[in-house]
């Protein structure tokens, strides 16, 4: 018999989203007339902007002609797309040969684990996007759940209302891999320049590498907030950025992302991280879809930038309506706290004295609205719900009316 990768035995059962779906299904079966609205998912809902959709359909049609056909593309991804990403998003910060095109940020986060030894220490925000830890469990860098929300090999960094959802960096061990997401999923908080300066300083002093997940950068509206870690001095020596067209342009189903690995970034033995990443991306991956990459190019031209701003503004408009509803007197008098600054698609909402799953059930039963329990993203998420602004406006407006009628 063939032996199993024991990393899989150390994973906890996929609990959060299947459990959300199950509770929704059971409620719907018991109440067939209920019109359930989902504010739970982190999936985009609005159509692709026309200029971007056309770039892809034109390219796809041309693939059916001799003149327009192409097979495998350039290593690292379409050169013109890498150049455009570098020029538009990282001017003076990174060059095209440091940009790698992929089929999405989640896939890059999974593949990146192959770069580091299985004895690497991790530091992650709590709450966090689950793939940072789960991917590390699969490759054996991290042990099993110790039953108290901990795991050998991981330092959890609580991000709470008390610390402004920015962790205590003194907890980070030397030579760690730091997963950091800003604007954050699920808290919606975008870290300030001072905070990111402190993070980079800490990484440089302690010999750490930061994996910076900037998948929601397009939602940042406060001009003082950095949109990439490479706006921070010193980041080129200690950070990798992972990014995506998913939330920027509605490419959750199209699939396109990129990573930036600066040439200065080195492992302990002095070898180049970029060089090994190039090896991973050309050995374990064979390029993103050429159709998707044409969509990426169109996303970052003048017309595409206008269109995607309008698309993201639409979701931000939803979030503003939800913030207003969740800040109503019915919520405020129950001590409910809405954390939302207008720079992300997620509202992070605290219900004092409640368990996340209990308040999830109440809002499902009394408002027929699906949310996401904060505790599913880590122990520091207990008592919170995440409300997602990805939805059609008319559904969000209806959800807001129902929330206004909720009595505690
Ligand atoms: C949605 C999301 C991504 C994007 O993943 P893709 O694979 O590019 O669709 C990355 N990071 C976080 C935190 C996300 O929520």
- In DSSP notation, 64-110 reads TSTTT---S--TTS-HHHHHHHHHHH-TTT--GGGEEEES-HHHHHH
Spell 71-97 as b/e; 16+ CB within 10 A means b: eebeebbbeebbebbbeebbeebbebe
How many whole angstroms from 247 Cα to the centroid of ligand 1?
A: 8
How many whole angstroms from 165 Cα to the centroid of ligand 1?
A: 20
Per DSSP, 276 falls in state H
Cα 251 to Cα 258: distance, rounded to the nearest angstrom: 13
**Sequence-separated (6 or more) residues with CB below 8 Å from residue 381:** 126, 127, 186, 356, 373, 374, 375
Give me the half-sphere count of Cα atoms (radius 13 Å) on the Cβ side of residue 94: 34
Ligand 1 probe mutation, 110, 112, 213, 288, most atoms within 8 A of CB? 213
How many whole angstroms from 337 Cα to the centroid of ligand 1?
A: 26
Calculate ∠ Cα 379-380-384, nearest 5°: 105
Ligand 1 probe mutation, 17, 42, 104, 106, most atoms within 8 A of CB? 106
What is the position in ligand 1's atom list of the atom closest to the CA of 108?
Answer: 7
pLDDT for 69 equals 98
The pLDDT profile of the chain, 408 residues, written as one tens digit per residue, is 999 998 999 988 777 889 999 999 999 999 999 999 999 988 999 999 999 999 999 999 999 999 999 999 998 999 999 999 999 999 999 999 999 999 999 999 999 999 998 889 999 999 999 899 999 999 888 898 888 778 899 999 999 999 999 999 999 999 999 999 999 999 999 999 999 999 999 999 999 999 999 999 999 999 999 999 999 999 999 999 999 999 999 999 999 999 999 999 999 999 999 999 999 999 999 999 999 999 999 999 999 999 999 999 999 999 999 999 999 999 999 999 999 999 999 999 999 999 999 999 999 999 999 999 999 999 999 999 999 999 999 999 999 999 999 998
Atom 14 of ligand 1: nearest residue by CA position: 215
How many whole angstroms from 246 Cα to the centroid of ligand 1?
A: 7
pLDDT for 117 equals 84
Tell me the chain's radius of gyration from C-alpha atoms: 21
Cα 138 to Cα 124: distance, rounded to the nearest angstrom: 16
Binding pocket residue ranges, ligand 1, CB within 6 Å = 42, 104-107, 129, 181, 185, 213, 215, 244, 246-247, 252, 257
- Whether residue 191 is preceded by a cis peptide bond, meaning omega within 30 degrees of 0, is no
- E-assigned strand segments in 182-261: 209-213, 239-244, 257-260
Cα 313 to Cα 318: distance, rounded to the nearest angstrom: 9
What is the position in ligand 1's atom list of the atom closest to the CA of 106?
Answer: 7
What is the position in ligand 1's atom list of the atom closest to the CA of 181?
Answer: 13
Cβ count within 10 A of residue 6: 9
What is the position in ligand 1's atom list of the atom closest to the CA of 105?
Answer: 8
How many whole angstroms from 388 Cα to the centroid of ligand 1?
A: 14
What is the position in ligand 1's atom list of the atom closest to the CA of 185?
Answer: 13
- pTM for the structure as a whole: 0.97
Question: 381, 128 in Cβ contact below 8 A?
Answer: no
On the 0-12 / 13-18 / 19+ scale of CB atoms within 10 A, 277 is buried
What is the position in ligand 1's atom list of the atom closest to the CA of 245?
Answer: 8
pLDDT for 375 equals 94
Element housing 208 (H / E) = none
How many whole angstroms from 213 Cα to the centroid of ligand 1?
A: 8
Cα 299 to Cα 64: distance, rounded to the nearest angstrom: 23
């Amino acid at each position: 018999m063939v032996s199993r990768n024991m990393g899989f035995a150390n994973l906890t059962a996929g609990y959060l989203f299947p459990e959300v779906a199950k509770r929704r299904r059971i409620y719907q079966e018991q109440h067939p007339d209920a019109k359930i609205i989902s504010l739970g998912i982190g999936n985009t809902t609005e159509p692709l902007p026309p200029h971007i959709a056309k770039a892809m359909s034109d390219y796809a049609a041309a693939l059916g002609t001799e003149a327009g056909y192409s097979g495998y593309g350039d290593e690292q991804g379409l050169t013109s797309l890498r150049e455009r990403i570098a020029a538009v998003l990282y001017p003076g910060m990174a060059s095209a040969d440091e940009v790698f095109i992929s089929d999405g940020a989640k896939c890059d986060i999974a593949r990146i684990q192959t770069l580091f030894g299985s004895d690497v220490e991790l530091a992650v925000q709590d709450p966090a996007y689950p793939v940072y830890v789960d991917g590390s469990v699969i490759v054996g860098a991290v042990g099993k759940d110790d039953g108290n929300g901990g795991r050998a090999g991981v330092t959890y960094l609580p991000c709470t209302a008390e610390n402004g959802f920015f962790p205590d960096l003194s907890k980070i061990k030397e030579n760690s891999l730091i997963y950091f997401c800003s604007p954050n999923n699920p808290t919606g908080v975008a870290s300030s320049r001072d905070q990111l300066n402190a993070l980079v300083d800490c990484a440089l002093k302690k010999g750490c590498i930061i994996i910076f997940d900037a998948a929601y950068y397009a939602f940042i509206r406060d001009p003082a907030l950095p949109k990439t870690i490479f706006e921070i001095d010193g980041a080129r020596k200690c950070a990798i950025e992972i990014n995506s067209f998913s939330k920027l342009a509605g490419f959750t189903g199209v699939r396109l992302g990129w990573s930036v690995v600066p040439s200065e970034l080195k492992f302990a033995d002095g070898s180049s991280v970029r060089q090994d990443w190039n090896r991973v991306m050309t050995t374990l991956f064979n390029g993103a879809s050429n159709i998707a990459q044409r969509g990426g190019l169109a996303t970052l031209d003048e017309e595409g930038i206008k269109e995607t701003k309008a698309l993201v503004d639409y979701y931000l408009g939803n979030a503003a309506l939800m913030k207003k509803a969740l800040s109503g007197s019915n919520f405020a008098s129950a001590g409910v706290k809405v954390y939302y600054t207008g720079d992300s698609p997620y509202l992070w909402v605290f219900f004092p004295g409640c368990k996340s799953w209990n308040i999830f059930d109440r809002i499902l039963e009394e408002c027929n609205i699906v949310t996401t329990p904060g505790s599913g993203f880590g122990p520091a998420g207990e008592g919170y719900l995440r409300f997602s602004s990805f939805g059609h406006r008319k559904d969000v407006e209806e959800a807001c009316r129902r929330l206004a009628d909720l009595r505690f």
